[in-house]
Amino acid sequence: MAYRIGKHTIVFNQPPKISNYAAVVGTKENNGPLKGCFDVIEQDSKCEQKSWELAESKMQQTAITTTLDKANKKICDIDVILAGDLLNQCIGSTFACLTSNRPFLGLYGACSTMAEGLLVGSCLIDGGCANNLIASASSHFCSAERQYRFPLAYGGQRPPTAQWTATAAGAVLMEKSNNCEFCVTHAIIGQMIEMGIKDANNMGAAMAPAAYHTISTLFSDTNTKPCDYDIIVTGDLGDIGASLLVRLFEQDKIDITKVYSDCGSMLYGDTQDVHSGGSGCGCSAAVLCGHLLDEMKNKKLNRLVFAGTGALMSPTSLQQGQPIVGICHAVVIERREN
Amino acid sequence: MAYRIGKHTIVFNQPPKISNYAAVVGTKENNGPLKGCFDVIEQDSKCEQKSWELAESKMQQTAITTTLDKANKKICDIDVILAGDLLNQCIGSTFACLTSNRPFLGLYGACSTMAEGLLVGSCLIDGGCANNLIASASSHFCSAERQYRFPLAYGGQRPPTAQWTATAAGAVLMEKSNNCEFCVTHAIIGQMIEMGIKDANNMGAAMAPAAYHTISTLFSDTNTKPCDYDIIVTGDLGDIGASLLVRLFEQDKIDITKVYSDCGSMLYGDTQDVHSGGSGCGCSAAVLCGHLLDEMKNKKLNRLVFAGTGALMSPTSLQQGQPIVGICHAVVIERREN
């Protein structure tokens, strides 16, 4: 049984274990600062599929099967899959999981989907509703660009505030266990915050206030401060959103800079022409499953806040003049000695 | 704490209470067989908003506020809102819940979203992750038609197998309680099933096998038969999908006809020119919250299977030749004497 403390924080009595994980990325993602961290590198942007949409599904499916292989488990051993993506009607996840023949819960949290999956998954396992599960998410630069912005062949210019949708997928296997290497101890379901941003090329600014709200609520609910965590990562505010988040905390006289990073800023290097950094459900999923959880495994990190940030909008809502709504779901992941 | 029985069924130890509910519909929906069952009838298809998309959000928001008013509660009393809809990136729910300032989990289950919300909500409450919550869903004929099919002004012909997306929304308030009028006792997370249907005007056929899978799993996991329930409702297979479901059970020599209904068949009358019946997240949400739960309150029904069916697809996936994937999430709702 979980219980609630403070305003919004859920505490898990038997913290669900993250027992394995895998990340799949494209070549651009593997040519950045995290080169070599990922399980599978897709050389072909179509992953030998007929469309970019099916390529995205293939990558998410590969992330799931690689996770299961690493855990020496079969898909039929899994109680439920929780998944989501950015494509209309979440078809990336549908076709990634269709052949699994396992119970499936579709989530929509835009780029916060990996965190939403970990969060809901933790609630299901801690509450006895599942013994194990897969949480997964994906995005693909090409499928996202043509759905949200312009046909790729149009070659539109991107402003400096724009983020680059990562061609990437990640999956984690969570299990009920008393014997944890690392586990999810706390979770916060984010609330939507909207500050009037209407520029789809400035998602970081739209999401930073939601990240601030969720992370500061975590601090106050659990009576912790930034130095109580080895790392606090948002995913994905990008460079501009991340600097806004730092400034929002400065107003509270809280310095998060010593422990703070953003998955969108970590994934790509300065020379990769991605402007404000990475984005997309797959960005934070791949940075978590390709890099951060390995750092925990290697005992370089013991306590991590994974704060997934999403921009809730559609091309239709933007064309109709509606603002971009930010949301941030967070989980605390702790390494524990066996 | 919940526990699992059989292959997939979740049993709640302290069944979460459905303490209030409300349904909002358009005029066409209130002119069918369920006339007078609904809390709010919107006379204007735009609900005094600037677009059909915002009208849909307004209807879902009205369903939530009406539910809270009936329960004599304020939105600030609510721990979390779970919501979803059919619009790209679930913007119907985003703009319905934006001003709530409450934690928000976005779900995507196509027309099964109301059942998915009840299911995940029950898990959260039973597991101690929330003391109360709102689950809501919506759809709008005009916003769905132009997104999925054709501009309304085009006046496209609809084949006899087509379903009519309901202009409707529903919301339930769930609470942790030992003192239940009616509560969710069991839940099954559906698995995706695809039988090669590629006709977006024949969703019922695409979803019926998934409904069969979930409901027959419920029967075998709980060792029950159709007569153990006062009513089994799917939402929304429509007339054609419903008759296919009956035939699938006939192959097992199980007759469900005495207790079986479909929300899509219940919402509209034969003279309303909706062809195979209603569909859309709002259809089953409004039939549950406008009619079925009232029937339980009035002691006409004691034990109900609410099996939400969704067609997982997008116009892009259809254009790319992918099949329509069916899914069915189910909950068992029981009336208990106080």
Q: Where are the domains of chain B?
A: 16-175, 182-335
Over residues A78-94, mean pLDDT: 98
B199 exposure class (CB count in 10 Å sphere: 0-12, 13-18, 19+) = middle
Q: Give the SS3 label for residue B192.
A: coil
| Mean pLDDT, range A111-129, rounded to an integer | 98
Q: Cβ contacts (< 8 Å) between B2 and chain A: which residues?
A: 127-129
User: Residue written as tokens 């790729």?
Assistant: A152
Query: Nearest CB to A53: which of B80, B110, B316?
Result: B316
Q: Give the CATH number of domain B16-175; options: 3.40.50.970, 3.30.559.10, 3.30.365.10, 3.40.47.40.
A: 3.40.47.40
Nearest to B203 by CA among B89, B330, B323, B306: B323
**Contact yes or no for A91 and B327 at CB 8 A:** no
Task: List, for residues A184-214, the tens digit of each pLDDT value.
Answer: 999 999 999 999 999 999 999 999 999 999 9
Pick among 3.40.50.2300, 3.40.50.620, 3.40.50.12280, 3.40.47.40: CATH of B182-335 = 3.40.47.40
- Choose, out of B14, B94, B100, the residue to mutate when testing the contact with A (most A CBs < 10 Å): B94
- Residues of A within 8 A of B315 (CB-CB) are 88
Its CATH architecture, for the domain A1-338, is 3-Layer(aba) Sandwich (3.40)
User: Is it true that the peptide bond before A221 is cis, omega within 30 degrees of 0?
Assistant: no
User: To the nearest whole percent, how much of chain A has pLDDT over 90?
Assistant: 94
Tell me what pLDDT residue B170 has: 98
> Does A318 contact B at CB distance below 8 Å?
no
pLDDT at A265 > cutoff 70: yes
Is residue B198 within 8 angstroms of chain A, CB to CB?
no
**Predicted local distance difference test score (pLDDT) of residue A257:** 98
For the entire predicted model, the pTM comes to: 0.98
Q: Tokens in use for B240? A: 């054609």
In which band, very low, low, confident or very high, does the pLDDT at A156 lie, cut at 50, 70 and 90?
Answer: confident
Q: What is the pLDDT of residue A336?
A: 86
User: Would an 8 Å CB–CB cutoff place A248 in contact with chain B?
Assistant: no
Q: How far is A245 from chain B (nearest CA, A)?
A: 20
Q: What is the pLDDT of residue A338?
A: 62
Residue of A192, A198, A218, A327 best to disrupt the B interface, most CBs of B under 10 A: A192
Largest CA distance in chain B: 54
What's B66-134 look like in SS3?
HHHHHCCCCHHHCCEEEEEECCHHHHHHHHHHHHHCCEEEEECCHHHHHHHHHHHHHHHHHCCCCCEEE
The encoded tokens of residue B196 equal: 């090669």
Q: B175 with B125: CB under 8 angstroms?
A: yes
Q: What is the pLDDT along chain B (338 residues), one digit of tens a residue?
A: 899 999 999 999 999 999 999 999 999 999 999 999 999 999 999 999 999 999 999 999 999 999 999 999 999 999 999 999 999 999 999 999 999 999 999 999 999 999 999 999 999 999 999 999 999 999 999 999 999 998 999 988 899 999 999 999 999 999 998 777 899 999 999 999 999 999 999 999 999 999 999 999 999 999 999 999 999 999 999 999 999 999 999 999 999 999 999 999 999 999 999 999 999 999 999 999 999 999 999 999 999 999 999 999 999 999 999 999 999 999 999 998 76
Residue in A79, A128, A147 closest to B1 by CB: A128
Beta bridge partners of B191: A103
Q: Please report residues of A whose CB lies closer than 8 A to that of B54.
A: 320, 322
Residue B72 burial class via C-beta count within 10 angstroms: exposed 0-12, middle 13-18, buried 19 and up: exposed
Round the average pLDDT of chain A to a whole number and report it.
Answer: 96
Pick B123's closest partner by Cβ from A127, A131, A190: A127
- Chain B nearest-CA distance from A3, in A, is 5
Are B96 and B138 in contact, with CB atoms under 8 Å apart? Answer: yes
**Common-topology check for domains B16-175 and B182-335:** yes
For residue B246, what pLDDT is reported?
Answer: 98
Is some CB atom of chain A closer than 8 A to the CB atom of B318?
no
Name the nearest CA neighbour of A138 among A81, A200, A204, A188: A81
Note whether A88 contacts B322, CB cutoff 8 Å: no
